Structure 1
Amino acid sequence: MFDYTSSFDNFNEDVDDDATVESSIEDEISEVDDEIVMGKVTCELLNIRPKPKMDDVDNKPLTTVKKDTELLLMGGFEDHHNWYSVCTPSGVEGYAMKKFISIS
């Protein structure tokens, strides 16, 4: 049977300063947190589409999300004038119309 504890002991010996490692991880997390923008669905059901357009026959919804669902807004603040690039709580990435999302 493999002894996991001895592997961790060796790992700890390789780390010179735990406080420095912890500090740099916290810095990275805070940088990411500054960039995260969340939005909330304001209509009863919102379609999440693969492209930021409505008139494309091949642009059928990937999924739908219900009112008050929080979405991660990943882009579209300047591009795709009427659309946000979003990620749903279940991990589906696509585009949703801005007029149905309030930024929280």
Structure 2
Amino acid sequence: VDAFAVGAVRAIRDSGRRVPDDVMVVTRYDGPRARTCEPPLTAVDLQLDRAASDAVELLLARLRGEDPAPREVPGTAVTAPEPRVIARASSLRAP
């Protein structure tokens, strides 16, 4: 997903516009390309590493016949980590 945002930055520049002065760019994945793009991309950190780890632990517990984690929401055993916005230069304009 961050590859698309980096491509958008290139297309914006190719059209003669500037990021973030003319167009702000934000991605929903805080991957290496988001952090190393020029300008660095504002991103939503979905904490995918933690979500994947939680999913594996849940699966392993079920395979062992255990009832994992107390149920906080009917029909689920774990809650997803809270996403957070990481503001970077691609969406910040000087006043």
- Superposition TM-score, scaled by structure 2 size: 0.23
Tell me which of the two structures has the higher relative contact order, counting C-alpha pairs closer than 8 angstroms and 6 or more residues apart.
2
